Structure 1
């Protein structure tokens, strides 16, 4: 499958986690010694616990808890669950959720170790890769589509939509050139948090990235 010329990566977080990221100047994995002790989780609580112990079979190994996860797409099934409070996920307003946007190119240029999964990393059918070639196994048609519900014709679409890139341990905040929000109100809040110190970071409204 043809790999896009530019590959954007998206991490969704609760906006109230952003001040800690700005102060520490890095985004950390859950197991990091410098992780936010008051981090507000937005995912399936039971799945979060399972990810703590799921081993990564490729270098640099560890568990899923040792990585910062990014999707290759917007409007993920996870965001849908957050909006609706489905599947053990706390229901939240979309103004509470922001996108941290970077790219595969920035990760690769940094030399940070990473793992690519061709679907949801916790799913037993998903395959891990730790080189560029892994990108060719991602279903870029599903990634680009707003349709991801499983169907009788394609019962595996939701898993593939949730392909992930995992960055080992942490990455500097300056590797995130953009932050997207649901509304102008949320955008103003994020600009206030980011402040003048991080003028290179573009903060913008992308309502179409939400439900």
Structure 2
């Protein structure tokens, strides 16, 4: 049997468009949405959701609003990435058009955040939802986050459990900023993106980064595609 990391050592992941990485690496940190400014060249977030996160209070210290934190998921193939891929497939007007292929996962872990002394909170689901709960206590992670659902391939709501989508969007939120030296690796969808990312990293003076291709972390819908 393969052992799994405990919640205190769980993997966390933030994804961003590859266009944003040069500025992130030059700055040396990921910045919260409330402070990101010109660091974000290509914004893949939904305008309405980002607005709600600027108004959604965090109910435990260090407080503030959700937009004051750098967000990390506990699992790949999030509902947010699904929306991005579907909007690309459907050519939805007024949305980021590029799909999930250009997105890069920046991977770290709970224990690295703890070890660096960063202030953080975790949520049990979608931070824009009013019923979502928060904690800043690492000992609460085991029961706060639905870990079996984090490991599941499918997270859609079902009649016997209509809250699965919200819970799959559980987050670790790092207050204000996240230093890039805490990143343990990068994940991309294709070998072509790996080559592109390698060039970006080398241009930033990073030559020993771990970069992996994991198509199963993506949806990869193409424009106008129909799948059975």
TM-score by length of 2: 0.85
Q: Which moved more, 1:4-13 or 1:141-150?
A: 4-13
Runs of at least 5 residues in structure 1 that lack an aligned partner in the other structure: none
Aligned with 1:115 (options 121, 138, 144): 121
- The one-character-per-residue Cα deviations of 1:142-163 (angstroms, maximum 9, x if unpaired) are 1100111101011001111110
Residue number in structure 2 paired with 1:44: 46
Larger gyration radius, structure 1 or structure 2 = 2
1:90-109 per-position Cα deviation (integer Å, ceiling 9, x unaligned): 34233211101000010010
CA distance in 1, matches of 2:168, 2:97: 21
CA distance 1:89–1:128, shift in 2 (3 Å): farther
Note the 1:177-192 alignment, pairs <5 A: 177-192=184-199
Mapping of residues 31-180 of structure 1, within 5 Å: 31-32=34-35, 35-85=37-87, 89-136=95-142, 137-180=144-187
Give the unaligned 5+ runs of structure 2.
220-228
Q: Which residue of 2 aligns with 1:28?
A: 31
Q: How much is the aligned-residue C-alpha RMSD, in angstroms?
A: 2.0
2:20/2:39 contact within 8 Å kept: no
The alpha-carbon deviation at position 13 of structure 1 amounts to: 0.8
| Displacement of 1:37 | 4.9
- Is 2:13 aligned against 1:10? yes
TM-score, scaled to structure 1: 0.92
Deviations 1:100-158 (A, max 9, x none): 10000100101100010011111112110001023121110111001111010110011
